[in-house]
């Protein structure tokens, strides 16, 4: 995967999450726009029906509701759901920046570092200094291998595994928060719907609601708002969590492959082979020495 493609995927995931979020709210707003103040759905009147039903009175525009009014009608549980959406946006933005391929595996550093190692231009101290100056996750893995410079390949590989585990934990930071938002948000929505339904039926039981089904319909509509809000937050959160998890796995696979190249360069077996393959200085013959 090239560096350009690695940078474009987080933007695509972010646009997809925003599109799902805006589309969900637009759908909820459109449904509410098709209801009259009493909670009954607005029925479209055809010309034939209008002619049969007598003169048509001039009615005003269909009332619509903005986002703030939807939040107020959803009840107090809309507040924690809104807080979950704020957390989701903050951590998705942070992970989008932190998991850029150019930040995790900077291509210029990796290319220069491996080239200098293969050509023998670096010793242990110089290689370690380059890794510490880079401060990227792949440089941290390289530094773990360089500290075992000249050791057997098994020890160098174990150092890469240990460094890779620490790097993996850093790359997966905050992903549990996003997963928690995807899990908690729909539960908050369902809980708000249950409490809203209880309030709606209590209102019907204590009021003279005979022949007035609009009271029950209005209460159920307001109760379902929390479920819609919870799912609106949970769906983008789950998409972002799966995307970031997959991205971390791909980055770890690439770092492991690069670390194996370092093992093949600085292990004791490889260094010994290079020394044996190096041309030996020619010795002068007996006659040349006498001359």
pLDDT digits (tens, 9 = 90+) for 10-60: 444 455 555 545 444 444 444 444 444 444 444 444 444 444 444 444 444
> Is residue 1, in this structure, part of any structural domain at all?
no
pLDDT, position 276? 63
Select the more confidently predicted residue: 252 or 197.
252
**pLDDT of 183 higher than 90:** yes
> Is residue 176, in this structure, part of any structural domain at all?
yes
**pTM here?**
0.68
d(C-alpha 82, C-alpha 71), whole Å: 9
196-251 pLDDT, tens per residue? 888 777 777 776 655 566 666 666 777 788 888 899 999 999 999 999 999 999 99
Terminal alpha carbon distance of the chain: 64
pLDDT, position 214? 67
> Is residue 2, in this structure, part of any structural domain at all?
no
> Is residue 45, in this structure, part of any structural domain at all?
no
Select the more confidently predicted residue: 76 or 170.
170
Sequence-distant (6+) residues with CB within 8 A of 253 are none
Report which secondary-structure segment, H or E, holds 107. Answer: helix 107-118
> Is residue 51, in this structure, part of any structural domain at all?
no
d(C-alpha 149, C-alpha 153), whole Å: 10
**pLDDT of 126 higher than 80:** yes
> Is residue 108, in this structure, part of any structural domain at all?
yes
Residue 165 corresponds to which tokens in the numbers above?
A: 């585990």
> Is residue 290, in this structure, part of any structural domain at all?
no
> Is residue 109, in this structure, part of any structural domain at all?
yes
pLDDT, position 54? 46
**pLDDT of 78 higher than 80:** yes
Which structural domain, as residue segments, surrounds residue 13? Answer: 7-38+65-277
Q: Look at the chain and report how many structural domains it folds into.
A: 1
- Are 170 and 163 spatial neighbours (Cβ–Cβ below 8 Å)? no
What radius of gyration do the chain's Cα atoms show? 33
> Phi first, then psi: what are they for 32, rounded to 5°?
-65, -30
């Amino acid at each position: 995967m090239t560096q350009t493609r690695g940078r474009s995927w987080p933007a695509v995931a972010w646009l997809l999450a925003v599109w799902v979020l805006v589309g969900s709210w637009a759908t909820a707003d459109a449904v509410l726009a098709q209801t009259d103040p009493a909670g009954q759905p607005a029925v479209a009147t055809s010309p034939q029906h209008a002619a049969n039903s007598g003169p048509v009175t001039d009615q005003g525009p269909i009332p619509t509701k903005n986002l703030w009014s939807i939040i107020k009608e959803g009840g107090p549980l809309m507040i924690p759901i809104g807080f979950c959406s704020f957390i989701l946006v903050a951590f998705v933005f942070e992970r989008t920046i932190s998991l850029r391929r150019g930040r995790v595996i900077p291509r210029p550093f990796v290319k220069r570092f491996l080239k200098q190692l293969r050509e023998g231009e670096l010793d242990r101290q110089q290689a370690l200094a380059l890794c510490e100056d880079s401060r990227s996750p792949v440089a941290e893995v390289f530094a773990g291998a360089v500290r075992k410079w000249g050791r057997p390949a098994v020890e160098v590989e174990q150092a890469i595994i240990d460094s890779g585990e620490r790097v993996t934990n850093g790359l997966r930071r905050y992903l549990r928060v996003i997963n928690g938002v995807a899990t908690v948000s729909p539960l908050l929505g369902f809980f708000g719907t249950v409490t809203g339904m209880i309030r709606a039926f209590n209102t019907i039981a204590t009021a003279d609601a005979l022949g007035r089904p609009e009271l029950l319909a209005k209460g159920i509509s307001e109760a379902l708002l929390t479920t819609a809000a919870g799912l609106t937050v949970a769906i983008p959160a789950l998409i972002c969590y799966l995307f970031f998890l997959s991205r971390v796995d791909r980055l770890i696979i690439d770092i492991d492959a690069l670390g194996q190249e370092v093992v093949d360069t600085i292990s004791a077996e490889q260094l010994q082979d290079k020394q044996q393959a190096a041309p030996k200085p020619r010795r002068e013959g007996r006659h040349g020495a006498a001359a």
